[in-house]
Structures are given as structure tokens and as C-alpha cells.
């Protein structure tokens, strides 16, 4: 009988108490077989939260880590990061005690800790956070959502390769259409990095590159994967999170039937996605939203499990970086 996949869940650092993270993780355990959870964080708090929940005790363990890396803390404090629940969890992943890591904590700390502890996959210039947006055609994935705010053209080209491979492996999209976010469809439009990245990506035969895409076409369809740097991507992500609340407010103001919005709401709800995979580092890492409720945590754990089962790290590691950079 195959051993269960073990997922490390960081219980510290999010906006909610660790009880919420633990409840969501246990919900994930109840929904699927073949996975164990290793909680990292304050041992007493974790035990107190677990005592209030029915759970398969043989599938749950604890890695004590009392130090918390706060949301506002600078990631230059490497010593504090490595001894925090994030750092301890990533170290356990590196040492082979688990198969994946999931945190709702400080995004920059998870990215920095993952690069420092796990290292980048051979040939990878910079890692990227990948997330989903709803579109008229279904969903579109875009990267980077905040891991690399100043991406060089070579990094943007690698994001295109990573995003294309993820779309094929995880989302089962054959020959995904990849676009580069810019201020015009013409290849001469954009800043220096975007124009240079366009030239590189257009020469990569493994990518179904459809050229530049403007902001007004992100949600209207046409691309399966959209590439941008982490500065633009994180702004875009936070902006789209507010869209549904604005629509909901307008509906209420006009007295329209709110029941019609439920189906739309789920497509904008970050808790449905769970988290954003950090791709390009040598290990499965998922970063959840700081405001994640139990539902979002559950889906983040399940996403981490899915990435392990699909061996996404091996898939990305097989990309022939050396001929593209």
C-alpha cells in the first residue's frame, strides 16, 4: 500500500486565528483519502484547536514552531524568517519530511523562504505566483501575481513556459494560448522589458504565443495564460477581488434580484481557488490569501495535494530552459 502524501500547513501568520486554518485543513482531510497533514505553529494552540474537532488522529501531526513572521515584517530579517513557522515548515519540506507546503501567511516571506531553503529549479531565473481569473470563456491563469515585482525579459519568457506547462498538466488545456500583458496589441508597444520579452517568447516553439493582450481583453477571453511581472500582476489580482463587491452593491442599489448573482460570485471568490502555486522553486509550495476562511484553506490544501499528485515540479523541471535564455 502506498504511503499517504503529507502536506505541511502553516497555522500562523494569516488574518484569522489558527483555529480557522486547522478547521479548513481537517475539512480537506475528511474530503479526500491518501493525504496527511503536518501542522507547523504553536503546539499548544494547535492541540487546543484539534481537541475541538473530529479528525483521524493517525493522519495528523505537529511540528512545533512558536515564532510567527508578521505580515508587516521585512523579509531581509532572514534569521527570524528561518525560525518562524514558515521557515520551519519549508525546512521540513526540504529535508523530505513532507511532499508539499501551504501557508496563508506573509507572501513575501514564503517566496523568500522558499527560494532560500528549497532553491530554484535548475535554469529558473525567478519564481512566479500563478492564479486564476474568470473570463467569458471560462478561466484564465496569469502569472506573476506578486513573487517577482521587477521581472527581466528572460524571467517573463520563463513565466510563459511555466504557465503553459501548468495549464497543460493541471488544467488539461491542450496547446494553451499564451499572451503577454501590455498597453497595446502591437509587438512594439509596452515598456522595455515587455518588448524584449515579446521577442524572446515569439521564438520559443513550445509556446502557443498569440502576442500581446490589453487589459480590456483579460476577462473577455482569447488567452488561456497571461504573463506579466509581479508588480502589475498583484495590482491586477487585488483589483479583480473588488469587482464582485462593486457589482453586488450596484444590484442592491437598483433593487435587482440578488439570487442571480450567486453563480457569478463563485467565479470571483478567491476561496474557491484556495491559493496561488509558487512555481519555479524546487518544491510544491502554495500561498493562500491572508484573509482565507476555512473554505479557502481547505481548497488551498487540496490544490497542494493536486500539484503533488500531478508531479508539477518534475514537469517544470523538464522544461528546456537553456535554449531559451
Quick one: pLDDT band at residue 243, thresholds 50, 70, 90? confident
Q: What is the pLDDT of residue 283?
A: 93
Q: pTM higher than 0.85, yes or no? A: no
| b/e code 82-98 from CB counts within 10 Å (16+ = b) | bebbbbbbbbbbbeeeb
Residue 105 makes CB contacts below 8 A (sequence gap 6+) with 10, 12, 13, 14, 68, 69, 71, 85, 86, 290
Q: Name the one residue in this structure whose C-alpha cell is 480557522.
A: 20
Whether the Cβ atoms of residue 66 and residue 42 lie closer than 8 Å to each other: yes
pLDDT surpassing 80 at residue 80: no
Percent of the chain scored above 70 by pLDDT? 86
Quick one: pLDDT band at residue 325, thresholds 50, 70, 90? very low
Q: Which residues make beta-bridge pairs with 157?
A: none
Quick one: pLDDT band at residue 281, thresholds 50, 70, 90? very high
Beta strands 177-181 and 208-213, pairing class: parallel
Hey, what domains does the chain have and what are their CATH numbers?
1-123+279-324 (3.40.718.10), 130-270 (3.40.718.10)
pLDDT tens track for 267-278: 555 556 668 899
Q: What is the pLDDT of residue 292?
A: 79
Q: What is the pLDDT of residue 322?
A: 43
Quick one: pLDDT band at residue 57, thresholds 50, 70, 90? confident
Question: Which residue from 95, 64, 65 is spatially nearest to 80, judged by alpha carbons?
Answer: 65
Amino acid at each position: 500500500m502506498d504511503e499517504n502524501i503529507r502536506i505541511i500547513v502553516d497555522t500562523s501568520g494569516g488574518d484569522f486565528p489558527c483555529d480557522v486554518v486547522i478547521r479548513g485543513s481537517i475539512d480537506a482531510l475528511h474530503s479526500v483519502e491518501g493525504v496527511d497533514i503536518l501542522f507547523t505553529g504553536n503546539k499548544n494552540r494547535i492541540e487546543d484547536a484539534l481537541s475541538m474537532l473530529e479528525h483521524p488522529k493517525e493522519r495528523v501531526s505537529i511540528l512545533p514552531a512558536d515564532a510567527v513572521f508578521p505580515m508587516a515584517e521585512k523579509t531581509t530579517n532572514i534569521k527570524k524568517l528561518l525560525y518562524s513557522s514558515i521557515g520551519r515548515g519549508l525546512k521540513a519540506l526540504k529535508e523530505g519530511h513532507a511532499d508539499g507546503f501551504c501557508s496563508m501567511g506573509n507572501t513575501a516571506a514564503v517566496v523568500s523562504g522558499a527560494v532560500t531553503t528549497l532553491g530554484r529549479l535548475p535554469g529558473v531565473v525567478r519564481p512566479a505566483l500563478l492564479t486564476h481569473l474568470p473570463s467569458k470563456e471560462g478561466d484564465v491563469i496569469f502569472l506573476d501575481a506578486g513573487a517577482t515585482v521587477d521581472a527581466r525579459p528572460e524571467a517573463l519568457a520563463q513565466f510563459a513556459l511555466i504557465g503553459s506547462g501548468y495549464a497543460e498538466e493541471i488544467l488539461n488545456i491542450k496547446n494553451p494560448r499564451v499572451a503577454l500583458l501590455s498597453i497595446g496589441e502591437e509587438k512594439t508597444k509596452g515598456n522595455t522589458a515587455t518588448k524584449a520579452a515579446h521577442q524572446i517568447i515569439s521564438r520559443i516553439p513550445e509556446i502557443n504565443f498569440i502576442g500581446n493582450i490589453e487589459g480590456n481583453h483579460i476577462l473577455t477571453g482569447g488567452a488561456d495564460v497571461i504573463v506579466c511581472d509581479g508588480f502589475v500582476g498583484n495590482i491586477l489580482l487585488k483589483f479583480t477581488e473588488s469587482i464582485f463587491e462593486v457589482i453586488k452593491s450596484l444590484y442592491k442599489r437598483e433593487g435587482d434580484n440578488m439570487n442571480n448573482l450567486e453563480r457569478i460570485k463563485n467565479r470571483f471568490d478567491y476561496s474557491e481557488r484556495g491559493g496561488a502555486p509558487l512555481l519555479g522553486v524546487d518544491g510544491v509550495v502554495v500561498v493562500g490569501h491572508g484573509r482565507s476562511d476555512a473554505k479557502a484553506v481547505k481548497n488551498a490544501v487540496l490544490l497542494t495535494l493536486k500539484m503533488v499528485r500531478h508531479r508539477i515540479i518534475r514537469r517544470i523541471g523538464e522544461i528546456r530552459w537553456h535554449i531559451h535564455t
